[in-house]
Structure 1
């Protein structure tokens, strides 16, 4: 037997249970990973609490939980190439990462990458969803050197990637956040601005020359402010926004380029991108971890250890 986080009904963190389940094993073309760390994302608790969204991702009850993981390969099925027992890996398996073992289809819909020796499992477990989503959001907005880009939700799990990647691309970054995160964002060269009513005027005050692009990683407030400031809709992106403004580029990690993860790990290894770990919880405290993740005040990523 092994352990996995399971929920039988949709709801808040209280529906998540750590249970004993039969130990999974590989079939042809599959790889089993002994999970060491799970990285949480806002989409994880959305999937476990909103049935309509879960259905869009093919999730039915009972279901496992979480997507991002890092660990070590401990079984390899027939026909698999590129992975061997003992390899350190990270990746994404929608709705089942929070478990002692995950069986991964590296040639299918799952994501599986080798973990560079210089990167810890804690950091590797944060990369697949947040890194790919940040890359996709910036690409959809066409962020490039010389831009002044507004990033909505800059202190969150995706925001810390997007802000740093935009800076590395040569853009000036203005990031929406709560005042308590301003010093945190300034560490990454971000000019912080409070979210909420009046955002357009506050952005205009700190960027009188205007902004040229925007990536909204939390709803549509930053996207709407960018439109009001004259940014063309095709240079504004949103992620997981239910009703983005007309013409704005709705995107997500699935739209990222396959090489983006390699580019992200390269800049982490080079010391040019930092992944801040906001909190670490043992798997037995998964409900507490998700409760914290579901708030807006998190600075960086939350990880869960097994």
Structure 2
């Protein structure tokens, strides 16, 4: 099969396009014919070796954790899916080797759910990692409820844009930080936009004089520390970007595969409450260019690689 691989850690230049062995399918897994795979910051961070202390790399590594595709065949213990089913997945294992930037990907059942019928494969590929991150943070950590006011940092990005939509679905009011050029986009998603940087506290207090009930940080650093005084009494703080949040009384969140959570996202998308903004699309052989663009850090929505 055709795939993207890297044989050593490094920059985008280590990514190679060529032939790779089709993955074996275990008893509790399915083989997915990949139609699209989204690019996430963790992809290039893993490729650069930043995750080496926690994830063993079995070279050559096929990168990628997000996938949308069609079940080609199933393992002998699988009853949940059949050949021809359209699926999405956050296909993260406890090592780096068998990723989704390939014609086929082996996906454990715990990583999969049914693809939203109202989304294209390109759109649906953007849901798993970003959607699960937003969903698990908002629902399971911040426990956002109807009537809450939520501050979302970097709200125009892949996770931030999902967080706005899901928080609105939960009945919350959302204030989102973004550059001026993305303010109209945030309004379309249902958020009240503000610029980040100097004066952030005053801008948030103008909109929420009594403070916010929850802060969802996707940036870390100054954005995180500036958020603490903006919390209302009993307010909750979570970050997916900076473990210093723990010392500030909040929670650090690292997304995990969960088929039930992923199916919830599919259901929400099919009700029209969750969409995916695809900013750029690359063919599989141009994955290195997709990585370069993602590393720039100014993406609105998702960057997606299509296969076939």
Same fold (TM over 0.5): yes
Q: Residue 294 of structure 1: CA displacement? A: 1.7
Match of 1:138 in 2: 138
Q: Distance in 2 between matches of 1:230 and 1:36?
A: 42
Return the match for 1:253 from 255, 259, 265.
255
Question: What residue ranges of structure 2 are gaps of 5+ in the alignment?
Answer: none
Query: Any stretches of 5+ residues in structure 1 without a counterpart?
Result: none
What's 1:41 paired with?
Answer: 40
Match of 1:98 in 2: 101
Helix, strand or coil: the match of 2:128? helix
Give distance in 2, aligned partners of 1:206 and 1:156: 22
Q: Does 1:55 align with 2:56?
A: no
Q: Deviations over 1:184-237 (max 9, x none)?
A: 111112111122233222222332232121000122443322212244686010
CA contact (8 A) 2:109 2:259 kept: no
Provide the rounded CA distance (Å) in 2 between the counterparts of 1:232 and 1:54.
Answer: 39
**Deviation digits for residues 8-59 of structure 1 (CA, Å, limit 9, x no counterpart):** 222222221112112234243331111110011111111111x242331333
Give the equivalent residue in structure 2 for 1:71.
Answer: 69
After TM superposition, the structure 1 stretch with the greater mean CA deviation from structure 2, 196-205 or 83-92, is 196-205
Contact kept, 8 Å, 1:48 with 1:54, in 2: the verdict is no
Cα distance change, pair 176–302 in 1 and its aligned pair in 2 (3 A): same
Q: Kindly report which structure 2 residues correspond to 1:119-134, keeping only aligned pairs within 5 A, or say none.
A: 119-134=119-134
TM-score by length of 1: 0.91
The question of whether the paired residues in 1 share the 8 Å contact of 2:4 and 2:15 is answered with: yes
State yes or no: 1:23 paired with 2:22.
yes
Q: Post-superposition shift, 1:274?
A: 1.8
CA distance in 1, matches of 2:214, 2:39: 28
The C-alpha deviation readout for 1:226-257, integer Å capped at 9, x for no partner, is 21224468601001424325121111322x86
C-alpha separation in 1, matches of 2:44 and 2:52: 10
User: How many Å separate the matches in 2 of 1:234 and 1:192?
Assistant: 20
TM-score, length-scaled by structure 2: 0.90
Q: Which 4+ residue blocks in structure 1 deviate beyond 6 angstroms?
A: none
- Whether contact under 8 Å (1:68, 1:129) holds in the other structure is yes
Q: After the TM superposition, which residues 73-92 of structure 1 pair with which residues of structure 2 at under 5 Å, given as runs?
A: 73-92=71-90
Deviation at 1:144, TM superposition (A): 1.4
2:13 alignment partner in structure 1: 14
8 Å Cα contact 1:283/1:304 also seen in 2: yes
- Answering whether residue 235 of structure 2 is matched by residue 237 of structure 1, we say no
Count of aligned pairs: 300
Q: Write the mapping of 1:197-276 to structure 2, written as runs, cut at 5 A.
A: 197-231=198-232, 235-246=236-247, 247-254=249-256, 258-276=259-277
Q: Once the 2 structures are TM-superposed, how far is the Cα of residue 281 of structure 1 from its aligned partner?
A: 0.8
| Partner residue in 1 for 2:188 | 187
Report the Cα offset of residue 258 of structure 1. Answer: 4.7
* Deviation, structure 1 residue 118: 2.6
Distance between the aligned counterparts of 2:160 and 2:215, measured in 1?
12
Aligned mates of 1:61, 1:279 — CA distance in 2: 28
Residues 116 and 266, structure 2, Cα contact 8 Å, conserved in 1:
yes
